[in-house]
Amino acid sequence: MLYTIFQIIAFQALFLLVYDLFLKRETFFNYNRAYLLLTAIVSFVLPFLKFPELKKMTTQNVVIQLPEVFIGTKASPISEIQIAETAGKIMEQPKTPIWQYVFWIGLIIATLVFVYKIVKLYWLKENSPKRWQGNILVVRLIKSSAAFSFFNTVFLGEKIPDSEKTTIYKHELVHVEELHTLDLLFFELLRIVFWFNPLIYIYQNRIKELHEFIADAKAVKQNGKAEYYQSLLNQMFDTNNVSFTNTFFKKSLIKKRIAMLQKSKSRQLNLIKYALLIPLVFGMLIYTSTEVRAQEKTETKNEANQELTDEQLIQSYYDEILKMKEEGISVVEISDYTGFTIKNSDVYIRSKENYLKSIAFMQHMADALIKRKSEDGTLTDKDYETAKNMTLNKHQSYKEYREWKKTDEAKKLWESNAKDGELRFVVNDFKNKTAKEQKRFDELLGKLHDDDNFYKLTVCEMVGVSKIELYDNSDEDTKEIEVVEENIEVPFLVIEEVPTLPKCLDLTNNKERKYCLSDFVNKHVNKNFNTDLAHGLPPGRKRVFVQFKIDKEGKVKDIIARGPSEALEVEAKRVIGMLPQFIPGRQKGKLVTVPYSLPIVFEVKDDAKRLNELIQERDNLLQNANADKNPVIIQLNQQINALKTKLKDTLDSFRAKNYDKFIERLETKAQRDSVEFIPSEYKKTKPENETEPWTTVEVAPVHPNCNPISSESDSKECTTSAINKHIGKNFNMNFAKSLNLTAGKKRIFVQFKIDKEGLISNIIARGPHPKLEEEAVRVLKLLPQFTPGKKDGETVDVAYSIPIIFQIVNTKND
């Protein structure tokens, strides 16, 4: 934005320089008027005009970027998005730059000044004597000798001598007929928006001079030069100061006007000076067109500023593989991510993304081999040789790989590696086969049809990078035509302008927009993913790994999900497919496709084991507490009832006949002391109502410290703040530091329910260490009883989630 403004000011300065040096003294007043109006407009348009064809007129290799030299330690790539420093802290909105405040203050002041001038003008018009003279309104100014015009209104001071009023009136009539007021209002509006640009004021002064020259030239024809000179010299009195009116008596202009009247008419040959505008504008267009080069990608080998180099992309893919490994992603899932799949085995030319990912994957496998052997103490020279062979790459770049694929050696190698029952053939252009290629194709097609040992022919072409699969099938010869895309995809972690949402555009930097997008996707999945589909799976933590791409239009595509069951994979694809259209990402100024990976992690609990634990916990509390008044025991009873209902629903489907015996095995002595646990009553318990999300519940639960607050939004904000403060006060950070965790930001994601009694229940915590999860559960159990949430006038259970975030500092480096 600021750069564009600087360009506009520079162009205006050049236009004004040409005007003052070559055109200002000429008597081509109407041409000069057109020049000033046109160049003022063109200066605003030029920065946005880009003509790539003009780049061919300049030297192509103007800038050569040498390889980067790193002194000291090279900065590591961003591995995670930094977020709030403390538990539950809400990210601050970015501060508005000071220059924006200054701009808007100046704009408001300039607007007020303009409005004041308009009001003053209309006040003079309404409070002064006036009369119509044809279609011109003549206003007589009391006790004034000023003379000026505004649209079709001419203002004449009553002190102007009668002998000169006719001359002055004819002068102002020229302003009205030539619509000079429109010119001045145009520049007045520019002065409001670009109040900080001094060149706009110079433009306006130059156009006012021209207006007077034009009016003088026409008026003097009717009155004679001598009489007109005398009028100018006699009337050096008070003047009107409104910048968008044409004033007859302006002392600073009198001398220039007389000098211009005395000047001889310019020769027609001098009109050639206006041709200077052509090379001037052409040069500006070349500048604006070639300036965009730095924002475009080229395919030269060493220009690292045009796009990410192969080395940078390999490093980013390698970092993503490490991150996936740390998150517990299996090798099979990682190989899917990198394209090491059976599906891609018969692709002749791999896309740049898959090719570079494969290099990163093999490097990771080699490093993992060396690390594993080193830790086991079994590392040998043979292992080093194996690792070296795994990472040996005879092609230095993707470009070299593509060139090698054009050779006969590469084609024969790929064709000879066909699986049993399959035939392969590489052709340059399938639609325009050479005679040799057509003959070979016909031979393979005949073999496919006649030889029962073959069932499939795969044809790959070089031009369109397409794959055609032909099957020996009477119903359908062609199964599919798959076009392998070569569009460069920039990983989410390293992209310069991340895909985002309209609500995230106001954020000042890419890091904050990354967090905004990730937070939105996480909340979307958390809200819409149906974990009930995991029922029937063994208890424990489950993970569905999802990959998708945000294309150049901001649409989600190519969704891949890998999970413990097909139902969960389908559900993950459904939820990701519901994401809205994003604002697409950009790399070096160009729209790019951005791959995004997301692990969906949840817990499948052993309900019978959990029920037994709750009963034992309640049993211990009953020994020293009153069951009727203790809120913790009431809360445990509710959790036990809910679990019993859930178990009954499950058992009704699988082993309903053994239900009573199953419940009896879980009951302890303490259950007989409380009517809450009589099996007969339990059988009558109705399933709990569906839990309402905190963000959508009609009346949210209220923390005791927030009563009474009338506004629902204020109440929610107060309750959220109270929970955050409670966590920040009670969470034991010293305990977290004692676990020897790696340095960096740590997150514990906590979910719980505020039930119909206002009590905290169903606390689930997931973090980097089981002890931290236990600490989070302990802290949340200390929360007081809330005023319960409501829907349609009835109390309801409300689900609440919060991230607890803290920093582990590596004291060894301090």
Provide the pairing of β-strand 466-471 with 456-461: antiparallel
CATH architecture label of 502-604: 2-Layer Sandwich (3.30)
- Interior angle at CA 331, CA 327 and CA 335, nearest 5: 110
Edge to edge, what strands does the sheet with 556-562 contain?
556-562, 540-550, 594-604
Q: What is the rounded radius of gyration, in angstroms, for the C-alpha atoms of the chain?
A: 40
- CATH number of this structure's domain 704-813: 3.30.2420
CA 342 vs CA 70, 346, 543: distances in Å: 40, 8, 23
DSSP 196: T
pLDDT tens by residue, 500-532? 888 887 777 777 888 888 888 888 888 888 877
CA–CA dist 130, 71 (Å, integer): 81
- What's the one-letter identity of residue 542? K
CA angle 160/162/163 to nearest 5° reads 110
Q: How far apart are CA 145 and CA 237, in angstroms?
A: 7
Which tokens in the block code for residue 665?
A: 């095995």
Q: How many CB atoms lie within 10 A of CB 791?
A: 16
The low-confidence residues of the chain, meaning pLDDT below 70, are 1, 52-96, 222-253, 262, 290-307, 340-345, 377, 391-396, 463-490, 493-494, 535-536, 605-610, 620-632, 646-690, 710, 810-814
Taking residue 70's Cβ as centre, other Cβ atoms within 10 Å add up to 7
Same fold, 502-604 and 704-813: yes
Q: Helices 225-234 and 251-262: crossing angle, nearest 10°?
A: 160
- Quote the tokens at residue 54: 């003009």
Which amino acid is present at 705? Answer: N
Q: Model confidence over 306-359: pLDDT tens digits?
A: 357 778 888 888 888 888 877 777 777 777 777 766 666 677 787 788 888 888
Tell me what pLDDT residue 594 has.
85
3-state secondary structure 19-76: HHHHHCCCCCHHHHHHHHHHHHHHHHHHHHCCCHHHHHHCCCCCCCCCCCCCCCCCCC
Helix, strand, coil % over all residues of the chain, rounded to 5 = 50, 15, 35
Report how far residue 235's alpha carbon sits from residue 237's, in angstroms, rounded to the nearest whole number: 5
Residue 232 contacts residue 254 (beta carbons within 8 Å): yes
Helix (H) or strand (E) holding 597: strand 594-604
Among candidate residues 621, 670, 635, the one with its CA nearest the CA of residue 753: 635
Strand locations in 210-309 (E)? 246-247
Rounded Cα–Cα distance for residues 162 and 143 (Å): 15
Task: Please name the residue that has the structure tokens 């090698």.
Answer: 404
Domain boundaries, the chain: 2-65+271-294, 98-263, 310-483, 502-604, 607-688, 704-813
**CA-CA distances (angstroms) from residue 720 to 190, 280, 725, 801?**
48, 62, 9, 10
3-state secondary structure of 284: helix
Rounded distance between C-alpha atoms, residue 801 and residue 751, angstroms: 4
Q: Is the dihedral of CA 96, 102, 103, 104 positive or negative?
A: positive
What contacts 477, CB < 8 A, 6 or more positions away?
A: 470, 471
pLDDT given for residue 478 in this prediction: 40
Global pTM reads 0.37
How many angstroms separate the first and last alpha carbons of the chain? 41
d(CA 62, CA 286): 14
Under 8 Å between Cβ of 155 and 142: no
Looking only at the bridges linking them, the beta strands covering 590-592 and 594-604 are unpaired
Give me 141's structure tokens: 């100014």
Which H or E element spans position 102?
helix 98-126
pLDDT for 113 equals 93
